[in-house]
Amino acid sequence: MKPTGGPDGAARSSIGQDKERLAADFLTRQGLRLIARNHRCRFGEIDLIMGDAGVLVFVEVRYRASSRFGTPAETVDHHKQRRLVAAANHYLLAHPSVLPCRFDVVAMTGQDQVLWLKDAFGT
């Protein structure tokens, strides 16, 4: 039986892809350059990989229709951060770089309100 009250898996995937596109467009307007989308490996997935003035940026995009049960940014907990770092290391093994790296979070709510958290993990 499917849970009620929310979108099914296919609808969530479509919403997620749409929000990732919006985040990529937003960051591009801020001067970042898109390098890759949806890098998947056994550790997880990196939504966007971008360049920002000589820095390689790994971006996690989070969306929630409502902040009633917490903000989208709050869902990037310590466990999720560790998985993203492991996925980034996997990416760097396949695509070596001498650039410094950082992890950003783009959090979206409601009517595509965007909160960009640069260096969200404090690295």
Q: Tens digits of per-residue pLDDT, 2-20? A: 344 455 666 666 777 888 9
pLDDT digits (tens, 9 = 90+) for 51-98: 999 999 999 999 888 777 777 888 888 999 999 999 999 999 999 999
Express each pLDDT in 89-121 by its tens digit. 999 999 999 999 999 999 998 766 889 999 998
Q: Where are the domains of the chain?
A: 9-117
pLDDT at residue 82, rounded to an integer: 94
Q: Rounded CA gap, 29 and 13, in Å?
A: 24
What CATH architecture does domain 9-117 belong to? 3-Layer(aba) Sandwich (3.40)
